[in-house]
Amino acid sequence: MTYVLALDQGTTSSRAIVFDRAGRVAALAQREFAQLFPQPGWVEHDAREIWATQHAVALEALEQVGGPSQVEAIGITNQRETTVLWDRATGQPVANAIVWQDRRTAPRCDELRRNGRAATRIQQKTGLVIDAYFSGTKLEWLLDHVPGARARAEAGELAFGTIDSWLVWNLTGGRVHATDASNASRTLLLDLHTLDWDDELLELLRIPRAVLPDVLPSSGVLAETESSLFGAALPIAGIAGDQQAATFGQACFAPGMAKNTYGTGCFMLMNTGAAPVASRNRLLTTVGWQGPMGPHRTAYCLEGSVFVAGATVQWLRDGLQILQSAPEVESLAAQVDDTGDVYLVPAFAGLGTPDWDGYARGTLVGLTRGTTRAHIARAALEAIALQSADVFGAMTRDARIPLTELRVDGGASRNNLLMQMQADFLGVPVVRPQVTETTALGAAYLAGLATGFWQGGDEIAAQWQADRRFEPRLPEPQRQAKLARWREAVERAKGWARP
């Protein structure tokens, strides 16, 4: 057996990628699925379609490498915080999944913040800020708004999970209801220090323990798939939320190493070592991974979250229709030397780090009669890099050490103009690896370590190779002026949708 299969279930598509022992992509299959927007600020997915597309691409990828007999293990990585509630008996969801971008529980989060003691306890125990981004208030909303759900959950008839749990349930024919510590740490329900569901938090959000999955290490064989799904039973041996998986795939194993993933959103994580570090700059403290490279070893991270990054380019394509395809944005933006003082704040789902404003909304400022679609395209790319620069600044202040480079991955990291902008706005080099599929690669590494396919962190770190290094070119006074002007634009986006 010469491969590991990674199931990479993202916000807009399901992918399956097969990796060989050198960490190279041997096969890839991908399918998009529907994005549902039933009300302003609401974002949903059909969990059944997520499973159908994920199963289909897994079959496609396995066929490309000669079938399941060639694969040693499966690793799972997933969009985090997206919340599914389903019937244990039928395996059917009782409602659409509420996506991490969804803002319907922002008023509930306001209420929790007004309870000072509760807010303090939540942040102390979970390492998270109180925001509609996380799963806990989404699950509470489903229990309150789906007829009969709360009583059925308390009776043990319903199961909650983030997307990893939903996939494991379907892969095992309903035999296993589990999550890993990295995904569990994003729910507002897990104590970072005990790595278990916390009774005080469950009571605060009125969540019955009977609905929750088991919390398992990120690396370790937890089950085998139903043989009928792929033609053979395959071990499920690794699980991690997408951003933690990408950090692992980037071989950020030492404290102080950081990466940024450019996908639907942007997520910057820095390894802080074996103990959680409380942020002073509105970053999140989160579990990186648990289990690999030593028994029950846990790595923690600081994280900054940008809710809308690559989705900004999708909006230019599908909403404004000024692009035919997403890759076209680079050439269009390069038609102008600057934005003409136009700034796009893509707060379509509120603002994440460091502002945490669930009521912010997208704003386009500085328009003149001379503004063209090229200026708007360039402003969209700058917005991705400027939001990440805000996060990088907060992370540098928290780390109390200068971060000397940033490793990057994700689909938009292949955009050279964007990566140069990022280096310019950070003032430090940006390094893109040869394999940019680091989210799926991290899931594969976690699974392969559990089965002995890879022997340890040194072997994985040796496989990481740089593709290109982007050095900053923008003079420091211009960089500071750009960041200050951006913050002016952000202030204009804040609070727009507040009731």
Q: Is 310 annotated as a binding residue?
A: yes
Cα–Cα distance for residue pair 259/245, rounded to 1 Å: 11
Judge whether 70 is annotated as a binding position.
Answer: no
Cα 240 from chain centroid? 10
Residue 80 is assigned to a ligand binding site: yes
- The answer to whether 468 is a known ligand-binding residue is no
Residue 209 counted as an annotated binding residue: no
Cα–Cα distance for residue pair 431/438, rounded to 1 Å: 13
User: In whole angstroms, what is the distance from residue 84 CA to residue 99 CA?
Assistant: 9
Residue 93: count of CB within 10 angstroms of its CB? 22
Q: Determine if residue 13 is labeled as part of a ligand binding site.
A: yes
242 a known binding residue? yes
Q: Is 83 labeled as ligand-binding? A: no
- Cα 76 vs. chain centroid, distance in angstroms? 13
Token pair for 309: 């990054």
> CA-CA distance, 263 to 250, in Å (whole number)?
15
User: Strands, E, within 327-463: which ranges?
Assistant: 343-345, 363-365, 406-409, 430-433
Cα 152 from Cα 277, distance rounded (Å): 38
Query: Is 353 marked as binding a ligand?
Result: no
Q: Is 411 annotated as a binding residue?
A: yes
Can you say how many angstroms the Cα of residue 66 is from the centroid of all Cα atoms in its chain?
Answer: 31
- Please give the Cα distance from 81 to 401 (Å, whole number): 30
What is the Cα–Cα distance from 371 to 70, expressed in whole angstroms?
A: 55
The answer to whether the annotation marks 182 as part of a ligand binding site is: no
Cα 265 to Cα 412: distance, rounded to the nearest angstrom = 10
Cα–Cα–Cα angle for 449, 455, 461, nearest 5°?
A: 90
Pairwise CA distance, residues 480 & 483, whole Å: 5
Angle at 461 between CA 6 and CA 65, to 5 degrees: 30
Phi-psi region of 421 (alpha: psi -120 to 50; beta: other; left: phi over 0): alpha
Under the phi-then-psi rule, with left for phi > 0, alpha for psi from -120 to 50, and beta for the rest, what region is 246?
A: alpha
Phi, psi of 286, rounded to the nearest 5 degrees = -145, 155
Phi-psi category of 338—alpha, beta or left, where left has phi over 0 and alpha has psi -120 to 50? beta
How many C-beta neighbours within 10 Å does residue 236 have? 25
Residue 370's SS3 state is coil
Q: Is 32 annotated as a binding residue?
A: no
Annotated binding site for sn-glycerol 3-phosphate: 11, 80-81, 133, 242
Annotated binding site: 11-13, 15, 80-81, 133, 242-243, 264, 310, 314, 411, 415
Annotated binding site for ATP: 11-13, 264, 310, 314, 411
Annotated binding site for glycerol: 80-81, 133, 242-243
Annotated binding site for ADP: 11, 15, 264, 310, 411, 415
